[in-house]
């Protein structure tokens, strides 16, 4: 063990993980590193761990998690209010107020809407259908939009492409001087609900519709020092 070098371990791991996923690479690297640490603890604490180098950690470890953009409520509100086109505004609101994915928004038909309940067919989760609940004002605007345009029950409400929707969101962000992606609005819906006091289980089940809690927690982003102080003051007066 004392004679093994980092280069030898690198070559061995490269052979063992060639063509595998990053998760598999990390697992095998972790197992080998644990073996060397076990040797240090049992045999000789001065034994080196050839896995414990920045190069190997970078290649075989998980990349740093991406820090999502978390949009402030005032910014999102201004984006929506300054978007005058009814169709574009509704698309923004359905993502930012209800957390509906853009693919689900573009697939909506008039017959999927019943008052404030939206039935999503073929959602990303793989389920046959899922329910989403709309804020009252958004539901009213959506109903008015479908009636005024005489949209048939079985026809898509927003017959545009994914690329066109991306342009709508990007231009809405430009109105207030921020760079916004489609998923930023869905993320905002979850973050705003969570920080407004909505239980995380409700955020998970009704807004994001994730199958597990850890995925939802990644969406909620980091809390800044300013936000932390604000919530402490709210809690303790």
Q: What is the CATH number of the domain that holds 190?
A: 1.10.443.10
1 domain residue, yes or no = no
Helix (H, G, I), strand (E, B) or coil at 236: helix
Q: How many structural domains is the chain composed of?
A: 2
pLDDT, tens only, 55-81: 888 888 765 555 566 788 999 999 999
| Banded pLDDT at 224 (limits 50, 70, 90) | low
What is the token pair recorded at 156?
């898509």
* The pTM of the whole model exceeds 0.75: no
Taking alpha carbons only, the member of 80, 117, 83 closest to residue 192 is 80
pLDDT, tens only, 83-105: 999 999 999 999 999 999 999 99
What is d(CA 234, CA 237) in angstroms, rounded to the nearest whole number?
Answer: 5
Q: Do residue 27 and residue 102 come from a single domain?
A: no
Q: What own/partner pairs with CB < 8 Å and gap ≥ 24 does 111-116 have?
A: 111/153, 111/154, 113/139, 113/142, 113/143, 113/146, 115/139
Q: Do residue 55 and residue 104 come from a single domain?
A: no
Q: Do residue 23 and residue 53 come from a single domain?
A: yes
pLDDT, tens only, 38-48: 888 888 888 88
């Amino acid at each position: 063990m004392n004679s093994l070098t980092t280069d030898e371990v690198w070559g061995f791991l490269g052979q063992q993980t060639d063509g595998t996923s990053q998760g598999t690479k990390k697992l095998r690297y972790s197992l080998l590193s644990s073996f060397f640490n076990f040797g240090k603890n049992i045999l000789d604490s001065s034994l080196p761990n050839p896995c414990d180098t920045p190069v190997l950690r970078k290649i075989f470890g998980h990349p740093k998690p991406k820090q999502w953009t978390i949009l402030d409520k005032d910014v999102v509100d201004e984006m929506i209010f300054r978007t005058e086109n009814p169709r574009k505004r509704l698309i923004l609101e359905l993502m930012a107020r209800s957390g509906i994915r853009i693919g689900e928004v573009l697939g909506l038909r008039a017959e999927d809407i019943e008052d404030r309940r939206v039935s999503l067919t073929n959602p990303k989760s793989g389920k046959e259908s899922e329910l989403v609940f709309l804020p009252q004002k958004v539901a009213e605007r959506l109903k008015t939009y479908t009636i005024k345009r005489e949209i048939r029950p079985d026809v898509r409400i927003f017959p545009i492409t994914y690329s066109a929707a991306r342009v709508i969101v990007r231009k809405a962000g430009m109105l207030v001087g921020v760079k916004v992606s489609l998923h930023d609005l869905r993320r905002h819906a979850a973050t705003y609900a969570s920080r407004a006091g909505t239980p995380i289980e409700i955020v998970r089940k009704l807004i994001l519709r994730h199958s597990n809690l850890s995925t939802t927690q990644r969406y909620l982003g980091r809390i800044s020092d300013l936000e932390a102080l604000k919530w402490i003051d709210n809690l303790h007066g």
